[in-house]
Structure 1
Amino acid sequence: MNDHLDALLKKMKSAASPLRDMLKQLHAEFKDNHDGTVASYIPELAKANPDWFGISLVSIDGQAVDVGDSNQQFTIQSVSKAFMFGMAIEDHGRDHVLSKIGVQPIGEAFNSITLDEATNRPFNPMINAGAIAAADLIHGKDFPERVARMLKMFSTYCGRQVYVDNTVYHSEKKTGHRNRAIANLMLNFGMISEQLDDTLDLYFQQCSILVTSHDLAMMGATLANGGVNPVTGERAISAEYVKDVLAVMHTCGMYDYAGEWAFRVGIPAKSGVGGGIVSVVPGEVGIGTFSPRLDAKGNSVRGIQFYKALAEKYGLHAFEAKSERTSLLSQL
């Protein structure tokens, strides 16, 4: 990021706005909620401070609001799945990707070892099976090139260079036996290629990328802006594929809470067991939250509370009557 853009962002962050005041109010309201537990099935994730709580918002014109622990880094985990799905579609086109991965919501756990009995495909790209299949589709002449392309894609979304947390990556790789079982099942049915070990490594690395809530908001704003990062002006994904990513986020992005989320909040979103949630108000803003205390379904407890309150306050639901909806851009 050049000095001019950096100065512009700092100026926007310091400006007063009704929305900034509301985000501060909601942060204060929910920060003392100690419900939920930090993920521990990946040993490194258990080391997270359960009191961390960050909220960020970035508009399609590059304005940013950050509250709380918005600069605290954490691993992106399953939030990465939406963006890797978009990359797979760019590499192969919709028809080929849909021959390997479905787009149907599933009322089972995100790490379920199950495939569609009729097609042998994973049900959708937001669960582990579908995400592994999406990682398998990422182009590259060899494994290092596939990793480099993946990191470049995420860096373009975030507007800065991102990196893999190698400690978390090796922790995931060492304990990822269930994901290996899922991958072998898909290999048996021809849903992924023979490069199984490399694909699993790529999947473990994508989940171990370090981000902040501000990064997630920037990623969401890039999707809200038709695939173009609103600060750098770089295109992260072709405009024609943005709706594919948003549609699957909307129907499948919140694990088996997806239906409840669509009913109560009503905007495309994707969560991860690192405590992050990214969401998109198309044509307006991207929102990112981070709090590592998770509910039984694997979603951030404080994050869910925040989004419910924000959606109710501003009428964000996709099917809200226009008269009841407040543009977030108008509140910045």
Structure 2
Amino acid sequence: MEYKQAFSNTCDFLSKINDPGKVASYIPELGSVDPNKFGVHLTTINGESFSHGDFDEKFSIQSIAKVLSLVLAYELEGEKLWKRVGVEPSGTAFNSLVQLEHDKGIPRNPLINSGALVVCDILVDHLKNSKQTFIEYIRKVADNDSINYNEKVAQSEKEHGYRNAALINLMKAYGNIDGNCDEVLDFYFHLCAIEMTCAELSRTFMFLVNDGIDPFTKEKIISTEKSKRINTLMQLCGFYDEAGEFSFKVGIPGKSGVGGGIIAVLPEHFSVAVWSPPLNEKGNSYKGMRFLEMFNQATDSSVF
């Protein structure tokens, strides 16, 4: 498939349009980001890459990191993981307390906040020096030793993370959190504060393009079966209560973050990262969603 022209045309078009989205302001460190930033990077399984705009500027990947924490927890915990978190689309806001109470403390899926907190609880239990061990794991997957947490973002998350505190305490009351709530929350806030560029993010997710194996280093990150399940969860649950529309319009697995980033993968073909901070009303990057819809239509890229 020839991607160059479609990539260039889509980026050029979106660079010129007005963005009606709004930068996430409930986390002050995110609210201070320049709303005019727009970067894209696509990496193909054959090693080609295409870049646009602010593709080499680091940003907070936020909930995109939930995919990576899930991959590690799935490796450590195996199928027992699914006794504590479901695999269904939420259909409600990513931080819904009402749904969590209705489901008696079992999150609908691991990519909403409550589900990611359960995953973090598992990792804190398994990993010695959990934050350091986890960032070293991310560096291995990314093949990049420069990946790190943004401590200012983590602190900002902590100072305004009241709803996440409510979620974890509710699950603790239902017996679905084993560890210390404050320790798990601290790990979660750091998880969301990981910084990458579009180029780094696209590169990091190449193992999900290639059945769980990094196509460049040949290192096995996760089994083929588990890789397919992770991609399925991204397809079904990667965009909160806009997941159905994303599947309908874009048709490939992906995950968004309120920092304005989106990662999407077409198995056996490419990984693409988009960053544009203003979010639509569902909490997903407005231009990021538009890019993926337009690019995939132009290239007929879909898992369906």
Q: TM-score, normalised by structure 2?
A: 0.94
Aligned match for 1:45, one of 1, 8, 30 = 30
**Any stretches of 5+ residues in structure 2 without a counterpart?**
none
- Does the alignment pair 1:110 with 2:133? no
Match of 1:310 in 2: 295
Aligned match for 1:280, one of 260, 265, 276 = 265
Check 1:117–1:140 CA distance in 2 against 1; reply closer, same or farther (3 A cut).
closer
Separation in 1 of the partners of 2:233 and 2:2? Answer: 31
Match of 1:156 in 2: 140
Identical positions, percent: 36
Task: Assess if the C-alpha contact under 8 Å between 1:164 and 1:209 holds in 2.
Answer: yes
Q: Following superposition of structure 1 onto structure 2, how do residues 1-332 of structure 1 map, counting pairs within 5 Å?
A: 18-32=2-16, 33-94=18-79, 96-113=80-97, 114-115=99-100, 117=102, 120-138=105-123, 144=129, 146-161=130-145, 162-319=147-304
CA deviation vs aligned residue, 1:116-162 (integer Å, no higher than 9, x gap) = 63553111111100011111111566662x11221122212322021
CA deviation vs aligned residue, 1:231-271 (integer Å, no higher than 9, x gap) = 33333333331112111100000111000111111100000
The worse-fitting range, judged by mean Cα deviation, of 148-157 and 173-182 is 148-157
Check 1:55–1:281 CA distance in 2 against 1; reply closer, same or farther (3 A cut).
same
Check 1:270–1:42 CA distance in 2 against 1; reply closer, same or farther (3 A cut).
same
Separation in 2 of the partners of 1:140 and 1:97? Answer: 13
The secondary structure found in structure 2 opposite 1:150 is helix
CA deviation vs aligned residue, 1:277-314 (integer Å, no higher than 9, x gap) = 00110111111111101001110010111111111111
The secondary structure found in structure 2 opposite 1:71 is coil
CA deviation vs aligned residue, 1:6-46 (integer Å, no higher than 9, x gap) = xxxxxxxxxxx952232122111012332101111000001
Task: Assess if the C-alpha contact under 8 Å between 2:88 and 2:109 holds in 1.
Answer: yes
Check 1:35–1:284 CA distance in 2 against 1; reply closer, same or farther (3 A cut).
same
- CA deviation after TM superposition for structure 1 residue 178, in Å: 0.7
CA deviation vs aligned residue, 1:37-59 (integer Å, no higher than 9, x gap) = 11110000011111111111112
Separation in 2 of the partners of 1:316 and 1:280? Answer: 10
Task: Assess if the C-alpha contact under 8 Å between 2:124 and 2:187 holds in 1.
Answer: no
Compute the RMSD of aligned alpha carbons: 1.7
Task: Assess if the C-alpha contact under 8 Å between 2:262 and 2:275 holds in 1.
Answer: yes
Structure 2 counterpart of 1:138, which letter? L
- CA deviation after TM superposition for structure 1 residue 72, in Å: 0.9
The structure that has the greater radius of gyration is 1
The secondary structure found in structure 1 opposite 2:274 is strand
Check 1:171–1:216 CA distance in 2 against 1; reply closer, same or farther (3 A cut).
same
Separation in 2 of the partners of 1:57 and 1:109? Answer: 29
Structure 1 counterpart of 2:159, which letter? K
Separation in 2 of the partners of 1:280 and 1:294? Answer: 21
